[in-house]
Structure 1
Amino acid sequence: MIKLTPRAQASAKWGYLSPVLAVFLTLIAATVLFWGLGKDPQLALYTFFISPIENWYGITELLVVAIPILLCAYGLALCYRASIWNIGAEGQLLLGAVVATTMALQFVDSDSFWAMPLVLLAGMVGGMLCSGISALLNLRLNCNETLVTIMMNYIALNTLLWAVYGPLKDPSGYNFPESALFGDSSLLPILFEGTRLHFGLLLVILALVIVWVFMSKTFLGFQIKVLGLDKPAARMAGFKEKKLAAMVFLVSGALAGLAGAVIVTGSTGQLIPAISPGYGYSAIIVAFLGRLHPVGITLAGLLIALIFMGGEMSQMVLQLPRAITGILQGLILFFLLSCDVLIRYRIVFTVKLPGFTAAAKH
């Protein structure tokens, strides 16, 4: 017989082992899934997880995909540390891309040094605008932040579609829904010749360091942790709950908006409807899989980026449907939530034989 018994205190060991076990169980489930689809599991796993990064160019592409995911995830981690359930990184990314494009199109024929900083700053402002509306509705009108941020995702998506079919549409683009190509002054520099890996990688490293130091070394970071763990205690300590909540909303939106700006200035060079296959939503999984720690988030972001690349590779090589990417991401989240039960509960195996009872705890 198997039953769960509460632990006296949460297990720190399982806090770290749970994500590892979740990934392992996902690989087992993926093997069964590939077998059920009539594919050789060994070939499918190799195609999905090894083939995309078996050379230098593949590794650089992995980093290109991971950049926007990580920028969104670092911001979301701040919100979740404060127990603010921001589900709107996708919308903040999209609106950031729209505003960044609006700025970039002002510099198409310019070689100004200020073009790139202004485009990136515009993207951050766009993301902050999206998250700021959510913060206002949540903090002033007491609207549920989960529902509000989800709603803003759809508003941002339709704003993007309106922009590429309307005011930002390239008049010389043969009626395709896309903006004009950006000028060279608005494009992120390439770090390695012959690859698409751009300056956004350095922005990710900078964001990693800033978020890590902020959360672990500053008093504001400490206040955010206390707010997330025990709001009544934060109020008794005199922490300004609404100001802290507004700050993490805006910082999260700025990082997601920066991710949108990085995509249009580094990966696509223009605004198109499909700039994001769901990076903002995937960042939610990354934040929790990485245990809201910048280093853990970085490792989880690389894994999710690999799943995106593996999904594309499997479509070309194995003729698997595009939905396989979302299925594997969903499996990771499912197993992570399931394994997290072990943090607060023990699994007790009890074997009853005539005249003898044995129990094992895990």
Structure 2
Amino acid sequence: MLVSSGVAQASPVCDEHVFGVAEHYEVGGTTLRVYGTDGKVAVEDNRVPRTLRFGVSASSATMVSGASRAGSRFLFDAVDLDVDNADGTRTLTLGVGPAQASFVIPLRLTVRQGEVPIDLTPSGTEIVTMQPVDGVGVVLRSYPALPVSRGSVLATYPAALGGLGSLVMQYEGALRFGAPDVAFPLAYGDDRLYSVTESGTIVSAVRGGEFSPVQAPDGSIADGMQLSADGVALVHTFAGYWLVKRGTFTQLPDAWFDGVSLSGALSPGGRSFAFGVSASKPTVPTQVITVDLASGARRTYSLLDATLPSVAGLAYSVRHPGRLYLLRNSHPISIHQPVTTQLQALDLAGGTVAAIGPAIPEYAPRLFPADVG
């Protein structure tokens, strides 16, 4: 079914947030963007230090070290307030708050040598750290985001798995002064954590356990995946596609995924999958294609907008099952020029598209499909 539509001028009522990033061209790294319910965009940066007050102390070297789902809360790290202890540990001053916060309650966290904060859990109630341990691998720990915190092992990435790869389903980690990039490719499933090896193998671990390759019931190993905002996974193995809900694998027919890449978005509950096809020229419409994962039925939405022909990302709404968010942008002229970016909401029933907020200039924008809430 082909649905044609332009962009409506009125913004839809939207009571949730969508998290995305764009490159910070001047200094490298990324700007973190929370697209809000009122059409405004709240911005933080994961590489440029800024001033933030932690209780009575002010830090002029605050870094962002993680975010909860949909960027509703950020983990701020006052790097210049670190204290080295005589026993080799380090006491950090951290804080949790919304984007563009000017004040946070200080959280004092004493960590082991080499242990650094990298994220908040999706709920924003736990701080996640990582520590490389010789002969073991990488140990992930979680600490309640409370003034007095005791940590526990969240999961261990064994050294035998080799180096780490990258996942872009959710925002993970940042940079700390005095340390190399410490991003850990981490995604939060409905009953387990996911990561990826340097060779592209998808691995998972239950809380407190060790990461190991995600293995389908037929013995095939996952080499690609997509995650929904509520933690359902769609994984690909050499044997086909599988939907994973709380550790239970359900195989889906290969024919449903002809011409599909896993760079799209999976809906909450794993009910459908969507991907975008950018327009090659202004007279050709951008396409959004959805696949019903109960029947395999497809629907194609043809969206003509000569000024925004490219799709920089998609994300299903959590609170509005019939809505799909699109991040659309103009064709890039060069890497030195920003593109015009516009968040839109596609009504999957009627096929109409409405703009959310104003168009803004960005470098290399994208959405995180699992970061909506």
- TM-score, scaled relative to structure 2: 0.24
Q: Larger relative contact order (C-alpha < 8 A, sep ≥ 6)?
A: 1
- Answer 1 or 2: which has greater strand percent: 2
**Rg bigger for which structure?**
1
Which structure has greater helix proportion?
A: 1
TM-score by length of 1: 0.25
